Amino acid sequence: MNKITSLLIGASIFVQAHFLTFLPSTDNVTNKKESNIKLDISFIHPFEQTGMTMEKPEVYLNSKKTELSLKKTTKFEHKAWESNYTINMPGVYKFFVQPVPYFEPAEEKFISHVPKVIISSFGLEDGWDEPLGLKYEIIPMIKPFGLYAGNLFQGKVLHNGKPASNVEVEVELYNEYGLKAPSDAHITQVVKTDANGVFSFTMNHKGWWGFAALIEEGELKHKGKNYPIENGALMWVKAY
C-alpha cells in the first residue's frame, strides 16, 4: 500500500444519513383514548439513535392554512420539538413539517427535508394516496397505515407535481430495538426511483421506517459563500 492510498483511507469519513424524524403516537386512531395525537419532531440519525440540534420548524395539517403550535423538548440530549392534535372526526389526516435549512459542514451543503406522516381515524381510509401539493413529496402507492413487517412499501416521488425519475431514496429504521448493523454500509439502505418516479422497499422489521427522496436544487449562502441545497421528500410509515 503506497503512502497516498494510506492517507486517503485514513482520511475517509463515513457520513451518517440525517433524517428529519416525524413520529406520531399512532398512525391509526380506533377509539377516543388514542385521539389526542402527540407528534415528535427531531433531527437525528434514526438507526444509530443519536441526535442533532434542531431549530424551531413549522408543522401543518393538510395545508399551510392549518399550523399547529410547538413545544420545545429534547431528543438524545439535543433540542427537538413536539406538537399535539386532537382528532374528533373520522378521516385521513396528513401532517407535515417545514424546517429551517440546516448547514452540514462535512458535506458542504444545506439540508432541507420536509417529512410527512398520514393517520387514519375511526375506520375512514379514503384519500391516503392524494398529494398535498408540496414541491418535493412522496405519494404512497400502498396504504400507509396497517402495514406489517415484511410488507413491500412503494412510493412515488413528485417534484413540482411531476414524477421524479432516477432519484435516490434513503431508508432507515427508527431503531428503538437495539439492533446492530453488520457494517456502516448497512445502516442506511438506498433505492432509486424508476422512470415513473416509483421506488420499492421491503420493511424487514417492525417499527417506524423513514423514506427520504433527495433532490439537490437551489443554493443558500453560509458565511459569504453559496452552497447547494439537498431537498428531501420524506415519509414515515410504521410496520407492525
Q: Which residue has the cell 404512497?
A: 140
- Is the predicted pLDDT of residue 3 greater than 80, yes or no? no
- Sign, CA torsion 174/148/125/136: positive
- Is the predicted pLDDT of residue 202 greater than 90, yes or no? yes
Please state, in angstroms and rounded to a whole number, the distance separating the CA atoms of residues 81 and 23: 11
pLDDT per residue as tens digits for the range 83-119: 999 999 999 999 999 999 999 999 999 999 999 999 9
Q: Are 222 and 110 in contact (CB under 8 A)?
A: yes
Q: Are 60 and 85 in contact (CB under 8 A)?
A: no
Please state, in angstroms and rounded to a whole number, the distance separating the CA atoms of residues 223 and 88: 47
Which pLDDT does position 1 carry in this prediction?
43
Which pLDDT does position 8 carry in this prediction?
38
Which pLDDT does position 104 carry in this prediction?
93
Q: Which residue has the higher pLDDT, 77 or 3?
A: 77
Exposure letters 137-170 (e unless 16+ CB within 10 A, then b): bbbbbeebbebeeebebebbbbbeeebbeebebb
CA geometry: angle at 164 spanning 158 and 167, to 5°? 115
Residue 198's Cβ-count burial label (10 Å; 0-12, 13-18, 19+) is middle
77's grid cell: 440530549
pLDDT per residue as tens digits for the range 6-47: 333 433 344 568 899 999 999 999 999 999 999 999 999 999
pLDDT per residue as tens digits for the range 112-145: 999 999 999 999 999 999 999 999 999 999 999 9
Which pLDDT does position 5 carry in this prediction?
39
In the chain, pLDDT over 70 holds for what percent of residues?
93
pLDDT per residue as tens digits for the range 163-184: 999 999 999 999 999 999 999 9
